[in-house]
Structure 1
Amino acid sequence: MTSVPVDEPTNTSMSQTESPIAIAPSAASRLRERLFQVLPDIVLPVITLLVVLLVWHLIATNLGGGIPGIGETWERGVELLSDPFHSNGPNDMGIFWQVLYSLGRVMAGFTLAALVGVPVGFLMGSSAIFRKGWAPLIQILRPVSPLAWLPIGLLLFRAVDPSAIFVIFITSIWPIILNTSAGVVAIPNDYRNVAAVLRLNRIEMVRHILLPATLPHVLTGMRLSLGIAWMVIVAAEMLTGGIGIGFFVWDEWNNLNVSSIIVAIIIIGVVGIILDLGMNMIQRRFDHSQR
């Protein structure tokens, strides 16, 4: 009798368990991929910064004209930031207090612009008659330079702080109004039909329909307005005087301390980035809640 050969069983379970281990990426490869993703975000800004510093160095060493070098500006920056909280009267205050006074005026004018701009934007978006009546006036006033409003503010209030706040208010209100109005206009008609079916009154309509639907547009307008307000305050304080980062720049120019001006410009830019990042975080927080 001949025996029939029997195939030996293969260990399929072992081969199945080995393949995922073989193809699974190692920790080193994952780290390498992550570095390749992050590296451009680090290297490219560093290259740009080095190019700017090189151009600055060439201008300061070859062209002159009173432009301080990198080393001189660095020493002045260390001097200003080493004691930013000193206060020896209104004419001798640290850089921290200068920035803080400017931020106070910015927040006051920006808050007033938001309190007025959002309701006006809702009215313009909800009413075609109101929108047609106010749109031409807004288009005329919106391009006006902030400095053109400063004499009006000084004439009305006859004081530095209210005049600066007025200029911030009148120049930063337009993005809030226009973005809020655009958000209301963009609301789908289905939302309004649901409100009509539920017989929502005007307050309930704003609370449950208009405000949630237009919140991304409102926050975008507020983010733009805050950036405008921070730019405007520097120019306003340069002309009105008193305490503030804008007055500090003008005062250092009168004393021919150009290195202090460059340090102040860098501080103004850093504060502007912090304000924009703060508004961006608020935007992302509310956009996430709407999902």
Structure 2
Amino acid sequence: MNKILRDLLNYVIVLISLIIIWHIIALILNKAYVPTPLDVLERTYIDLVNKILIDNTMISLYRIFVALVFSTSIGFIVGVISIWARYRFVSDISKTLVFITYPIPHVTLLPILFFLFNIELSKIILIAIITFYPIAISIIEWSQRFPKDLADIISLMGGRRTELIRYVILPSSLPGILTGLRISLNTAYAVIFIAESMVGNNGIGYLIYWYWQRLDYTGMYSAILFLSIIGVSTYLILLKLEKKILRWIY
């Protein structure tokens, strides 16, 4: 059995096991707030047909995509500056700024962002702030694992700093960028619920909160299930892409 089939079989076994456990718990508790998997799947189908799930999920994915574009771009720039700025003082300040602000509970900044920006932009900025750190820190760590001999050769041949970054640092940082992106994407799915449930009237996070407020537990579970499927799917796609790009590692 090749690796792909073995991995697929493992996913199927785990999925079936989780569904069985969920069903048993629902039968034992026999409460409205723990519906059976069949009830949730039926409701998911209904909400998909009515486009409630699709429309709200697309809004959330748009916010996540825009935020990740900003956080990845800024994270790469800050990560490179933290290691390869022309002046050591700039590198030290940049790296210290990243590590000293990382432990801050950034979700608590959302009310402040609401004061400074409009509601829509505040949600995107919050996701960008939180997803920035895994990318920046991964790049800082990986960009130091470059082949020093190659860097010395480029310098001896009169290579400029931009060429060193392009041909040595960027390839060395690529694993960090992709790993940080995977971590950030999964973090973004959690943050989007908080951001959308606090203020607004659309998005998958808002939909989950809206169902919960109205005690529509089956609808709430269907939205959570759909978001989970999206999250797992994008994670596996990025992991597959990472393995394809970084063939020398995997």
Pairwise same-fold verdict (TM > 0.5): yes
Partner residue in 2 for 1:118: 76
Partner residue in 1 for 2:102: 142
The code of the aligned residue for 2:230 comes to: V
Structure 1 residue 129 and structure 2 residue 92: aligned? no
- Give CA-to-partner distance per residue, 1:70-112, whole Å, 9 cap, x none: 332232122112232xxxxxxxxx2111000000000111100
| Identity score, percent | 25
Structure 2: 5+ residue runs without aligned partners? none
Alignment of 1:75-224 (within 5 A): 75-84=42-51, 94-127=52-85, 128-157=88-117, 159-224=118-183
> Secondary structure at the residue paired with 2:247?
helix
User: Is 1:81–1:95's contact at 8 Å kept on the other side of the alignment?
Assistant: yes
Partner residue in 2 for 1:232: 191
Structure 1: 5+ residue runs without aligned partners? 1-33, 85-93
User: Is 2:78–2:94's contact at 8 Å kept on the other side of the alignment?
Assistant: no
Partner residue in 1 for 2:22: 56
User: Is 2:81–2:94's contact at 8 Å kept on the other side of the alignment?
Assistant: no
CA positional deviation for 1:251: 0.6
Aligned length: 247
Structure with bigger RCO (C-alpha 8 Å, 6+ apart): 2
With normalisation by structure 2, the TM-score equals: 0.88
CA distance in 2, matches of 1:123, 1:276: 28
With normalisation by structure 1, the TM-score equals: 0.76
1:149/1:41 CA distance change after superposition, 3 Å: same
Q: RMSD of the TM alignment (CA)?
A: 2.5
> Secondary structure at the residue paired with 1:288?
coil
CA distance in 2, matches of 1:135, 1:47: 44
User: Is 1:117–1:177's contact at 8 Å kept on the other side of the alignment?
Assistant: yes
CA positional deviation for 1:37: 9.2
User: Is 1:125–1:182's contact at 8 Å kept on the other side of the alignment?
Assistant: no
- Give CA-to-partner distance per residue, 1:102-158, whole Å, 9 cap, x none: 00000111100011110110111224534432344323322333421211211210x
1:39/1:172 CA distance change after superposition, 3 Å: closer
1:50/1:284 CA distance change after superposition, 3 Å: closer
